[in-house]
Amino acid sequence: MKTFYLETYGCQMNEADSELVTGRLLEAGYRKVESPGEADIILANTCAVREHAEQRVVGRLNELGRHKLQRPGVILGVLGCMSQHLKEGLLKQVGRLDLVAGPDSYRRLPALIEEATNAPRLDCDLDRAETYAGLEPVRTEGVRAWVTILRGCDKFCSFCIVPHVRGRERCLPADAILAEVREVVRQGFKEVVLLGQTVNSYQHDGVSFAELLRKVNAVEGIERIRFTSPYPTDMTDDAIAAMAECEHVCPHLHLPLQSAADAVLERMRRGYTIAEYDALVHRLRVTIPDLALGTDLIVGFPDETEAEYQATLDYVKSGRFDSAFMFKYSPRPGTLSARWDDTVPEEVKSRRLQEVIDTQEGISKEINQALIGREVEVLVEGRARRGDTDASGKTPHFKTVVFPDGGSKPGDLVTVEVERATGHSLYGRLLPGRLRHRRHSHGGSTEFAGRSPHEGPVLRRAIRAKLDAMVSAPQRSLSLIPLEVADR
């Protein structure tokens, strides 16, 4: 039986794709191994979003290629976004490479591997119909299962390579998604993360993203639901309402902003203004008062003036995100913005990035320190660090919590009292029993209500009626919603 070894780089989409690849190869009779030295097939599933990451992967592939010196029959292959981005260029950059396969080639991977035993094989055809529906991913152990609901992207932001390497948007049928969710719940996963480059653009056979959330929420035995990454212009009031009313959907959203200057947003081709983004944040926070909000930011975009950068910094201060991924702009060949001059000097980009990081870290720390003394529900993921006796896990708000494990195991839902907090983590002590918490609309606070049973269907029906009213008259009724969701 031939063996394969697979390394994964990049985002959760790539993690999910590696699970698909694993399932496909196991189905074809290969056996998975944990080190390249044992493998007949060595594969890397790669990311093209940042140039630096691409260079690291090229270095790693050249290193992995040394296994072919001792065992010439080994097949070395590259999968995913870098394959699609660089195509035959990869064969030149990586000596001893046998296979270059793009993100839509996984269904035929066993055949491609066979063909690559004769001569280097390149297969980078994008396929508008390929959703991998019907392929069974084989997931790595853990408490969180990624479920892809949408592949590709139609937004074509001027700086982003994703639509060029992952192709156009296509959604999986709701029935296939629900079958997969039921299966991961049956396998014991506690948290399901619905994935897509613009996950809330989901629309298939009349099922909207909001309806899909409600259907997933109704799957028996599901504990937690998240989704990433939503696109601001596709975050409908109905999707917000679904988030608020679905008891298993976590009160956490990563909503990429990128810049708070309208002229920069325009050059980025983002399709919204800062006023529209801010109005969306307002609707979200009024509807889900304890929402934890994260974002993505890019500084130093071509022609970004000091005033435009300052607008972003000011919004970081006023928007008070829980967390942010912050980057300096770097051009990606093949994108629209790569044709423009990269006008902001490197030292100015670095200074802007450092300022925005320092500001955000201060805010994250303040937000986290406000949780000291609170009880939070934690889904235990494992050891905080290798060899450590402390456990760590995530709250519904996606805060990392570290605590003496007290015998708790990965997959347990436990209660921790927060005793200390940094910008990145909460630290606390384990309490007996499982926490239930309820959200309050007034004052934007979350009251953790001890270990009471949640309020049940009567309360949720009342909330749903209010939310339905909001959806039909969003501006007028937003502040009137007495939202009290028992979300656990």
Strand order in the sheet with 292-299: 252-254, 292-299, 323-328
Question: Smallest distance from the beta carbon of 201 to ligand SF4, in angstroms?
Answer: 9
464, 457 contact by CB (below 8 A)? no
Question: Smallest distance from the beta carbon of 185 to ligand SF4, in angstroms?
Answer: 28
Question: Smallest distance from the beta carbon of 255 to ligand SF4, in angstroms?
Answer: 12
Handedness of CA 235, 237, 238, 243 (dihedral sign): positive
| Nearest to ligand SF4 of 172, 401 (CB atom) | 172
The CA radius of gyration of the chain, in Å to the nearest whole number, is 23
| Nearest to ligand SF4 of 36, 80 (CB atom) | 80
Q: How far is Cα 89 from Cα 161, in angstroms, rounded to an integer?
A: 16
| Nearest to ligand SF4 of 153, 193 (CB atom) | 153
Question: Smallest distance from the beta carbon of 169 to ligand SF4, in angstroms?
Answer: 9
By CB under 6 A, name the binding residues for ligand SF4: 153, 155-157, 160, 162-163, 197-198, 231
Question: Smallest distance from the beta carbon of 269 to ligand SF4, in angstroms?
Answer: 8
| Nearest to ligand SF4 of 8, 197 (CB atom) | 197
| Nearest to ligand SF4 of 32, 328 (CB atom) | 328
| Nearest to ligand SF4 of 25, 153 (CB atom) | 153
Q: How far is Cα 203 from Cα 212, in angstroms, rounded to an integer?
A: 9
Question: Smallest distance from the beta carbon of 116 to ligand SF4, in angstroms?
Answer: 30
Question: Smallest distance from the beta carbon of 434 to ligand SF4, in angstroms?
Answer: 36
| Nearest to ligand SF4 of 228, 392 (CB atom) | 228
Question: Smallest distance from the beta carbon of 231 to ligand SF4, in angstroms?
Answer: 5
295, 324 contact by CB (below 8 A)? yes
Question: Smallest distance from the beta carbon of 265 to ligand SF4, in angstroms?
Answer: 12
Question: Smallest distance from the beta carbon of 331 to ligand SF4, in angstroms?
Answer: 14
Question: Smallest distance from the beta carbon of 295 to ligand SF4, in angstroms?
Answer: 12
Q: How far is Cα 269 from Cα 383, in angstroms, rounded to an integer?
A: 42
| Nearest to ligand SF4 of 236, 400 (CB atom) | 236
Question: Smallest distance from the beta carbon of 163 to ligand SF4, in angstroms?
Answer: 5
| Nearest to ligand SF4 of 13, 353 (CB atom) | 13
| Nearest to ligand SF4 of 11, 313 (CB atom) | 11
* Dihedral angle computed from the Cα positions of residues 189, 191, 197 and 199, in that order, rounded to the nearest 10 degrees: 120
| Nearest to ligand SF4 of 196, 411 (CB atom) | 196
| Nearest to ligand SF4 of 153, 260 (CB atom) | 153
